[in-house]
Amino acid sequence: MIDTSYLLESFLQKYRFSRVKNYIIGDVLDFGGNEGELGKFVSGEYTVVNYDHKPMKNKMFDSIISLAVVEHIEVKEVFRIFRKFKKHLKPNGHIYLTTPTPESKPVLELLASIGFLEKENIDEHKHYWNSKDIYLLAKKTGFKIKEYSKFQYGFNQAALMVNNK
């Protein structure tokens, strides 16, 4: 869970929220959504899933949002989760994903070591996804990338995934 008492953590979370606002449509699954901070931007039904995926059961979503989460999960598990997302996403739905790039690793580790970021949060990173990894994730789980971009000087990236019809 992100500790937003760290000023930089709070800034980064707010920045990600500003990027995702236009992609929050209808009923939303906030995957890894901490305390549900994103909920204030949702007009439809809002479901937060952290470690327990049971709240997803028997629900369909227009939008699945995953902000700075997949880097905390083993790669094989991410693929399994995205296959599960496929079953819970409405036909015209989408996934919006952000994750740090490999280039960010030394910077994040430095900022954590001097107390600007929560060290435990950064130490939990299992994999720094590159664009090739994200495109492969989409392809292998039945999605296609509609939009892809890097932001924050290339240290973060975002992908909009849609059902591959």
Entry pTM: 0.93
Name the domain count of the chain.
1
pLDDT digits (tens, 9 = 90+) for 22-71: 999 999 999 999 888 999 999 999 999 998 999 999 999 999 999 999 99
User: Does residue 17 sit within a domain?
Assistant: yes
Give the integer Cα–Cα distance in Å for 157 and 65.
14
Pairing of strands 61-67, 28-31: parallel
Question: Which pLDDT value is given to residue 44?
Answer: 96
Binned at pLDDT 50, 70 and 90, residue 2 comes out as low
Within a domain: residue 143? yes
Residue 42 in domain:
yes
Q: What is the pLDDT of residues 76-92, one digit of tens each?
A: 999 999 999 999 999 99
- Tell me, yes or no, whether 124 lies in a domain: yes
pLDDT at 101: 98
Question: Is residue 146 assigned to a domain?
Answer: yes
> Which CATH number fits the domain that encloses residue 97?
3.40.50.150
Residue 89's pLDDT is 97
In a domain, 1, yes or no: no
Res 3: pLDDT: 52
Burial class of 152 by CB neighbour count within 10 A (0 to 12, 13 to 18, 19+): middle
Whether residue 5 is predicted with pLDDT greater than 90 in this model: the reply is no
Report the DSSP beta bridge partners of residue 28. Answer: 46, 63
C-alpha separations of 103 from 63, 71, 72 in Å = 28, 13, 16
**Which DSSP string do the residues of 13-54 spell out, in sequence order?**
HHHHHHHHGGG--SSEEEET-TTTGGGGG-SS-EEEESS--G
Rounded Cα gap, residues 154 and 103, in angstroms: 7
Domain that residue 114 falls in? 7-163
Give the model confidence (pLDDT) of 106-145 as tens digits: 999 999 999 999 999 999 999 999 999 999 999 999 999 9
The rounded distance, in Å, linking the Cα atoms of 112 and 95 is: 29
- Would you say residue 26 lies in a domain? yes
More confident residue, 102 or 4: 102
| Domain contains 49 | yes
State the alpha helices, DSSP H only, in the chain.
7-20, 75-88, 105-113, 119-123, 131-140
